A and B are shown apart, each in its own frame.
Chain A
Amino acid sequence: MQLFSCPFCGPRDETEFTFGGEAGKERPEPAPDVSAEDWSKYLHRVGNPRGRTREIWVHHTCGEYFLMERDTVSHVVAGTQSLRGGGA
């Protein structure tokens, strides 16, 4: 069992967390001007990096969304950070 560190609760079991998406995606605006191509890219295309990655995760027990930096090969977590007060 791997431990992830919720910025609010501290280290907890991996089963309490869900992957929310890759960090750094910006929703294209304004909506009426966004092409189908750009909207499709925003919705579906991902970097899917092999190695170091920045991701948004949610801790179910407290509802906290936060930023996690980790490695997708070794699963080593470099750090987690609250999203309060600023975007990712």
Chain B
Amino acid sequence: MAHSRTANRYSALSLVREGLRGHSGWQQAWRSPEPKAAYDAVIIGGGGQGLATAYYLAKNHGMTKVAVVEKGWIGGGNTGRNTSTIRSNYFYPESVALYDYSLKLYETLGKELNYNIMFSQRGVVTVAHSDAEMEIAARIVNAMQINDTDAELFSRDQVLEKAPLLNSGDQARYPIFGGVWQGRAGVARHDAVAWGYARAADGFGVDIIQDCAVTGFLIENGRCVGVETSKGEIRAGAVGIATAGNSGVVAGMAGFNLPIKSYSLQAMVSEPVKPCLDTVVLYLGTGTYLFQSDKGEIVVGGGIDRIPSYAQRGNPPVQATVLSGMLEMFPSFGQLKMLRQWAGVVDVVPDSSPIIGPSPVPGLYLNCGWGTGGFKAIPAGGVLLAHLMATGEHHDISRPFDLDRFRTGRLIDEAAGSGIAH
């Protein structure tokens, strides 16, 4: 196993030292090199998934002649636009194997990368509102326990103990009957995940090339041998696509379509307020979920916009739905002022599970279709795409997520299984 050669190791001591000398000694966390003519591997997309792939290519497979090409700035797409929740409360064994692996990697990631990703395992509670929904909640808890991840069926009292401000009155439109609790779930600083992977990958010698848009593919004898970019041609032994909502556009450049439709997913934050919520809460009834950030802001999200879109904005009707959900859940948030609203473009697949595997073009590999849930899967997605690009073979965890499941019919339908709101 190789070790990252990061010049400037972060520690409490370095913080004190820099504090005493006016923070004049911090070095850049990664270089900004011009692209070389050829690499062993090129990854398109400098979000969390792409940067993690580069890191694991170097760390797990000893490949350091690697480039990440990013059309904007790293972490500026969905990695910097999601609501940063990390959990593995899925239904099917294939999904739990994938997302729980990711959660486990997250648990040690800050130390491994020598970068504080502020991972806070404060738990996620999914609230049910009727006896019938409690049956479904029990089914999901049982499935999660069988699949060897932590889950607990919460009673009404246990839900209210975790989130006392929830609407517990007799007049609640969505009364609290109980819910699904996953205590190891939590939130992390999303930018820090991208930056931490970027810094560690750079330490291995990976070139991170920002402001470099891929405009086409180099195809020779039916095989992908590199990419055309706004900074010239780059040849590569293997090429990976980690472009989330733009995966359909990038696949189109290589001459194939994907079972992916792009939609806007909105989120918003309030003004900062005093600590009042120390877990993540999702209502099955409203589809709205929220938590309080370390800065005190209430971070709110919900379902996707219903109009296929590449706009990183979001439309007002869904915003109204999400916020009215929040007010039903937390009546005391009625006076909160919302500070910011934004959207990311998510890559939605018919069965709400990712696509990881070879593309129809040899030499070109896919990591896409994460839809609304890619952030939580960054470490696992990086390991799996790196494995594919380095060996040409599936990892055991990624095999069920191959593109061929749409031909064989072996879909992993988490929209039906765990009630994902997209």
Residues of A within 8 A of B (CB): 1-2, 13-15, 18-19, 36-37, 40-41, 43-51, 53, 55, 72-75
Cβ–Cβ contact B407 & A48, under 8 A: no
With A19-B307, A47-B248, A73-B310 given, is the CB distance from A36 to B257 under 8 Å? no
Instruction: Check: B311 CB closer than 8 A to any chain A CB.
Output: yes
Which of A13, A18, A19, A50 has the most B CB atoms < 10 Å from its CB?
A50
Of all chain B residues, which has the CB nearest A72?
Answer: B310
How many B residues face the partner with a CB closer than 8 A?
23
- Does B257 contact A18, Cβ atoms closer than 8 Å? no
Q: How far is the CA of A82 from the CA of B248 in the complex (A)?
A: 28
Task: Contacts A73-B310, A74-B311 given; indicate if A48 touches B257 (C-beta within 8 A).
Answer: yes
* From B246, B259, B308, B317, contact of A44 by CB (8 A): B259
Are B316 and A36 in contact (CB-based, < 8 A)?
no
Q: List 21 A-B contacts (CB under 8 A).
A: A1-B315, A1-B317, A2-B307, A14-B307, A19-B306, A19-B308, A36-B407, A40-B406, A40-B407, A44-B350, A45-B257, A46-B248, A47-B248, A48-B248, A50-B248, A50-B249, A50-B310, A72-B308, A73-B309, A73-B311, A75-B315
Docked CA distance A40–B408 (Å): 8
Contact partners of A18 in chain B: CB under 8 A: 306
A44 touches B248 (CB 8 A): no
**Separation in Å of the B188 CB from the closest CB of chain A?**
30
Any A CB within 8 A of the CB of B252: yes
| 0/1 interface trace, chain B 231-275, chain A, CB 8 Å (1 if under) | 000000000000000101100100001111110000000000000
Q: Looking at the complex, which one of A37, A45, A55 makes contact with B258 (CB distance below 8 Å)?
A: A45
Q: How far is the CA of A43 from the CA of B351 in the complex (A)?
A: 12
7 extra interface residue pairs, beta carbon distance < 8 Å, beyond A19-B306, A47-B248, A47-B257: A19-B308, A40-B406, A45-B259, A50-B249, A72-B262, A72-B308, A73-B311
Q: How far is the CA of A51 from the CA of B249 in the complex (A)?
A: 10
Chain B binding surface, main DSSP class = mixed
Whether A1 contacts B406 by the Cβ 8 Å rule is: no
Please report the C-alpha to C-alpha distance between residue A1 and residue B252 in the assembled complex, in whole angstroms.
31
Identify the B interface with A (CB < 8 A): 246, 248-249, 252, 257-262, 306-311, 315-317, 350, 406-408
Query: A75 CA to B343 CA in the complex, in Å?
Result: 14
CA distance in complex: A50, B252 (Å): 10
Which of B262, B311, B407 makes the CB contact (< 8 A) with A37? B407
Q: Which residue on chain A has the smallest CB distance to residue B408?
A: A36
Contact in complex: A44, B311 (CB < 8 Å):
no
- Given A1-B317, A48-B248: A55 in contact with B308 (beta carbons within 8 A): yes
**Knowing A1-B317, A72-B311 touch, does A47 contact B252 (C-beta < 8 A)?**
yes
A13 closest partner in B (C-beta): B317
User: Residue among B307, B350, B408 with the most chain A CB within 10 A?
Assistant: B307
Closest to B247 in A: A48
Given contacts A46-B260, A46-B261, A48-B260, whether A2 and B310 have CB atoms under 8 Å apart is no
| Contact residues in B for A15 (Cβ distance below 8 Å) | 317
Whether A50 and B307, one on each chain, are in contact in the complex, defined by CB atoms closer than 8 angstroms, is no
A22 shortest CB reach to chain B, Å:
9
Once the chains bind, are B315 and A2 in contact (CB under 8 Å)? Answer: yes
What chain B residues lie within 8 Å of A2 (beta carbons)? 307, 315
**What's the Cα separation between A33 and B307 when bound, in Å?**
35
- From the candidates B249, B260, B307, B406, name the one contacting A75 in the complex (CB within 8 A): B307
CB-based contact A50/B406 at 8 Å: no
